[in-house]
Amino acid sequence: MSVTADTGERSRIIEAAHRCLVDTGGEGLSVTGVLTAAGLSTRAFYRHFGSKDALLLAMFRRDSDRVHAELTAVADSAATPPDALRAWISGFLSLTADSRRRRGVLVMSCGELMGTAGYAAERARQLGAHRCAIAAILERGRVDGSLPWADPEADARTITAALSAAFQERMAASPSPEAAEAAAGQVTDFALRALGAAAN
């Protein structure tokens, strides 16, 4: 089997598993059901995944890495560190406002996945990547003077915690672009004041 076909097969399994989790409300995923949805054999499954847990973790990793890449790209295109921080926060909270993306978040926080061996470590990896990216933005702002009071590592932890709390609050409410934007504005204003950014 070629590398391209191999990668395509793996992606088909992950996409089918995602659809199955959405259909079952995040519970009761079966390898048989996934393979039926993907139109693939048991042999194909075990070429890529050692277990159902391995599949679930691969799904979580793929989705979290996609979100991280999107946020990083938006932040990297910003003109200044304060703008980059604003873009990161706004982009992250916008996930709560789009119905399709909310469904993805809910699937990736379902009981089936959270009970998987290795989930806690994978979740910690995701949060650590976000924290490091925010710390890098703060360090750029400290160096160029746009965020003069920044203590990048410590402040990144605080901002990540505030952002996570706002995210959970928005996920518990109805999807609303306006509410997500307002929440992003509150977290951003708090962070920029604490970091000594000049008022716009």
User: Measured between alpha carbons, how far is 4 from 12 in angstroms, rounded to an integer?
Assistant: 12
Q: What is the pLDDT of residue 3?
A: 46
User: Within 10 A of 149 (CB to CB), how many other CB atoms are there?
Assistant: 13
Query: Structural domain boundaries of the chain?
Result: 1-50, 51-194
Mean pLDDT split into 10-residue runs, the chain, 200 residues = 65 90 76 91 92 91 93 97 98 90 80 85 94 98 97 97 94 92 96 88
Domain 51-194: CATH architecture, name and number where available: Orthogonal Bundle (1.10)
Q: What is the pLDDT of residue 4?
A: 52
Q: What is the pLDDT of residue 42?
A: 92
Q: What is the pLDDT of residue 40?
A: 92
Q: What is the pTM of this model?
A: 0.88
Phi, psi of 121 (to 5 degrees): -65, -40
| Residues 6 or more apart whose Cβ sits within 8 Å of residue 170 | 93, 96, 97, 176, 179, 180, 183
Q: What is the pLDDT of residue 181?
A: 96
Whether the Cβ atoms of residue 105 and residue 95 lie closer than 8 Å to each other = yes
Q: What is the pLDDT of residue 200?
A: 59
Q: What is the CATH number of domain 1-50?
A: 1.10.10
